[in-house]
Amino acid sequence: MAVKLALAGAGLFGQEHLSVIARIPDAQVVAIADRNETAARTAAERHGVKDWGGDIIDLLRHTRPDGVIIASPGQTHVPLALAALELGIPALVEKPMAMTASQALPLVEADARGPAFVLPGHVLRFSAPHRRIADIIGSGEIGRVLSFSARRHRDDSHAVRYPDIDPIMMTMIHDIDLALWMTGGTARDVHAWRSPDGAQRSQTMVTAKGDTGAVWSLATSWTYPGEAAPDRIEIVAERGGIDFETGTYIRQYGDKPRSIDLAELGPDDSLLNEVSYFVHCIRAGERPSVVTARDALAGLEIAGAALSSLGRE
């Protein structure tokens, strides 16, 4: 029997979720909700889904799916995910899992109580190149990580499409999660700068001192009028380093210098891998371990410190 999924939020990213679910043989969408009922109905018609409406909680009560994907705006994530968990329904919650660490706490507690769980949508934990980088670090080949730098620039339509969410919460949250994962610890002394001050269409830089000794340096910009510069990661470690440019290369330096052909890693279907993992956890009755609600909480604590450094709590 297919694992039955519901979707909250049939916007741009909700539709990406629907496309990947269609590629998973043992998963099926049984309900779609969107505050904008036309969006829910259009998506339901396109995917042959019978139950749709404006209120995901009504639909969850009525259709009793095995899991729900919450791809509505960040402000709605905690109340919707809490309601799902109360109904015993596991939730894949898009990033940011919550708007603040304190808002996230009841959800982290509900997840810990179980049996229904939260899988935070930190999709890069499911990306083949990122997993390869984490494996190289984990192998000890380049030694302890001394610095983690990342940039994630987006075109300036983001400043218009997402006026209600800070670029740190929307875009940099991915790199905060990568830094937590790849350095193996959280960070303190978080400082942020933005230019122009207070603008959505801006460049933001964050530095921090990781508690495993790594210095963090993260940048995100929503200023590019056209195509933005590609995402990059640079890691400096005691016996080498790694440079990664999304879609182009992974280069390892130091004792074992090499270039890793991204084609060798296969297609980078990170969202497909993430949703497949959600389906696997539901089917196997397993709690997520690749990324957890506690990991997402740790990221929100750093993001909160960065916002506070900008005076934007």
Which residues contribute to the site for ligand NAD (CB under 6 A)?
8-14, 33-36, 39, 56, 71-74, 76, 94-95, 121, 123, 170
Q: How far apart are CB 73 and ligand NAD at their closest, in Å?
A: 5
With respect to ligand NAD, which residue has the nearer C-beta, 50 or 113?
50
Cis, peptide link before residue 115, omega less than 30° from 0: yes
Q: How far apart are CB 281 and ligand NAD at their closest, in Å?
A: 18
Q: How far apart are CB 250 and ligand NAD at their closest, in Å?
A: 20
Q: How far is CA 159 from CA 13, 19, 75, in A?
A: 17, 26, 17
With respect to ligand NAD, which residue has the nearer C-beta, 10 or 305?
10
Full strand arrangement of the beta sheet holding 3-8: 51-53, 27-33, 3-8, 67-70, 91-94, 118-121
Q: HEC profile for 32-71? A: EECCCHHHHHHHHHHCCCCEEECCHHHHHHHHCCCEEEEC
With respect to ligand NAD, which residue has the nearer C-beta, 123 or 150?
123
Residue 94 is inside which H or E element, if any? strand 91-94
Distance CA 100, CA 243 (A): 31
Count CB neighbours of 224 within 10 A.
15
Position of minimal CB gap to ligand NAD: 11
With respect to ligand NAD, which residue has the nearer C-beta, 67 or 74?
74
Q: How far apart are CB 271 and ligand NAD at their closest, in Å?
A: 7
Q: How far apart are CB 148 and ligand NAD at their closest, in Å?
A: 19
With respect to ligand NAD, which residue has the nearer C-beta, 27 or 71?
71
